Amino acid sequence: MSGVKTILAFDTSCDDTSVSLVQGETILVNVIASQVELHKQFGGVFPTVAKQAHIENIEPSLLLALKRTGLTLEDVDAVAVTVGPGLAPSLEIGLTFAKNLAKKLKKPFIAINHIEGHLLSPLAKRQTRKIIEVKAAKKTHEKKVKFPVLGLVISGGHSDFVLIKNFGEYVRLGFTIDDAAGECLDKIGRMIGLGYPAGAVIEEFAKLGDAKKYEFPLPMTDSRDYNLSFSGMKTFARNLISKLEQEATGRGENGLNKQTIYDLCASAQYGVFRHIIHKLDKILAKENIKEIWLGGGVAANQTLRKLLRFKANQHGLVFRAPYSKKLCADNAAMIGVVAAKKLERGDVITGPRAIAKIDRQPRWHIGEELR
């Protein structure tokens, strides 16, 4: 083996069980159990509430990860796991499993903050086997990181602006005081009747609609902080939808027509992103920032990426986002990337006693010490 350490990482912060093997920033494998892979194997539907699913999925996911890479547990140099934030009973499963494994293998244990995972997810690299790929990848990903970085974690569960002063040095500049951005879109989709979560459908429909058709309110323009709030948009959407439905009924139509739905999706998405960009502008005007990074489920949204890339270009900043959709979702590869940085710094936990003391931390905000 070369000098590069191999890290085995777990994430069971919410619904999905994920296991990954990484070497530095390079992702060897990233198994997400509730998504395609294990579904195919078992051919069944997984329970939505996670605890039982994690218990059932964690070992098969680990075996699959090893099989795909051709590695064995002997090759693992450290074990990393999300300890928070997340759903307490779910976190518990991954944490216990990883602790036992670290003890059994007598390897260092690394406790990871899930948000830090999303924050550093833009750094994750594909495993490059062919020379051509190496050349092709010599773009943003190869550029050396310039701090300070502004990290945006925008997902169904989080909306955070984080100042990254260096790896391991974070200041939470702003956060949502109610719903997350992705959640707001999911819920508006739910009101329109697009199922749940509806984020991906909204993105598709938005492409067919007029984003300026309905003007969603821009929240918290008076507040001087960098916080976000999406509850007012939800209320606005509810009233707008019921008004449009009444109008449709008045015209003798059965529910909203397609174009109205497309326009609603486009306008809602624009409203949500406009709020984020508005606060981003405030931050860029005040703080000294060199790069903008985007992570989290909504980072998969191309419109948001375009908006942020445009902003970054405008200010002469580097923009980075994860190379795949899977890295935007809750996944263990990003946990592995953070773990690699921590391992480099020696920020690891060794010895069965110290490992046993680590407890799940469901409300661990980024920038706070692990309790």
Q: Residue 148 or residue 362: which is nearer to other proteins going by CB?
A: 362
Find the shortest distance in angstroms from Cβ 194 to other proteins.
13
Footprint (CB under 8 A) of other proteins, residues 301-330: none
The verdict on 11 binding other proteins (CB under 8 A) reads no
Q: Residue 103 or residue 190: which is nearer to other proteins going by CB?
A: 190
Best CA proximity match to 63, nearest among 39, 29, 91, 13: 29
Find the shortest distance in angstroms from Cβ 100 to other proteins.
21
Measure the N-to-C terminal CA separation of the chain; round to a whole number of Å. 35
- By rule CB under 8 A, what count of residues binds other proteins? 36
Burial of 169 (0-12, 13-18, 19+ CB in 10 A): exposed
Q: Residue 185 or residue 349: which is nearer to other proteins going by CB?
A: 185
Residues in Cβ contact with 319 at an 8 Å cutoff, skipping those fewer than 6 apart:
140, 291, 292, 293, 294, 308, 309, 311, 312, 313
Which of these segments, 38-46, 125-133, 236-244, 267-275, binds other proteins (CB under 8 A)? Answer: 236-244
Binds other proteins by CB under 8 A, chosen from 10, 161, 175, 205: 175
Footprint (CB under 8 A) of other proteins, residues 155-174: 155-158
Binds other proteins by CB under 8 A, chosen from 106, 139, 363, 371: 363
Find the shortest distance in angstroms from Cβ 206 to other proteins.
19
Find the shortest distance in angstroms from Cβ 125 to other proteins.
28
Phi, psi at 14, each rounded to 5°:
-145, -115
3-state secondary structure of 27: strand
**Interaction pattern, residues 184-223, with other proteins; x per rule: CB under 8 A:** --xx--xx----x---------------------------
Binds other proteins by CB under 8 A, chosen from 178, 210, 287, 359: 178
Binds other proteins by CB under 8 A, chosen from 14, 22, 66, 317: 14
The verdict on 179 binding other proteins (CB under 8 A) reads yes
Give DSSP secondary structure letters for 42-67: H-SPPPSSHHHHHHHHHHHHHHHHHH
Helices (H), the chain: 36-42, 50-69, 88-105, 114-120, 131-136, 181-192, 199-206, 231-250, 258-286, 302-314, 325-328, 333-345, 352-357
Counting Cα atoms < 13 Å in the Cβ hemisphere of 46 gives: 25
Give the chain's length.
371
Find the shortest distance in angstroms from Cβ 191 to other proteins.
6
**Interaction pattern, residues 97-116, with other proteins; x per rule: CB under 8 A:** --------------------
The verdict on 130 binding other proteins (CB under 8 A) reads no
Is there a contact between 164 and 121 (Cβ–Cβ < 8 Å)?
Answer: no
Q: From CA 170, how far away is CA 157, in angstroms rounded?
A: 19
The verdict on 288 binding other proteins (CB under 8 A) reads no
Among positive and negative, which fits the CA dihedral 11, 106, 346, 78?
Answer: negative
DSSP 8-state assignment for residue 4 = P
The verdict on 265 binding other proteins (CB under 8 A) reads no
Q: From CA 300, how far away is CA 323, in angstroms rounded?
A: 9
Find the shortest distance in angstroms from Cβ 237 to other proteins.
7
Q: From CA 27, how far away is CA 20, in angstroms rounded?
A: 8
Is there a contact between 176 and 190 (Cβ–Cβ < 8 Å)?
Answer: no
Find the shortest distance in angstroms from Cβ 173 to other proteins.
14
Find the shortest distance in angstroms from Cβ 5 to other proteins.
32
Q: Residue 190 or residue 309: which is nearer to other proteins going by CB?
A: 190
The verdict on 87 binding other proteins (CB under 8 A) reads yes
Binds other proteins by CB under 8 A, chosen from 39, 42, 52, 354: 52
Find the shortest distance in angstroms from Cβ 371 to other proteins.
12
Q: From CA 371, how far away is CA 25, in angstroms rounded?
A: 27
What is the contact surface with other proteins in residues (CB under 8 A)?
A: 14, 47-52, 85-89, 155-158, 175-180, 183, 186-187, 190-191, 196, 231, 234-238, 362-363
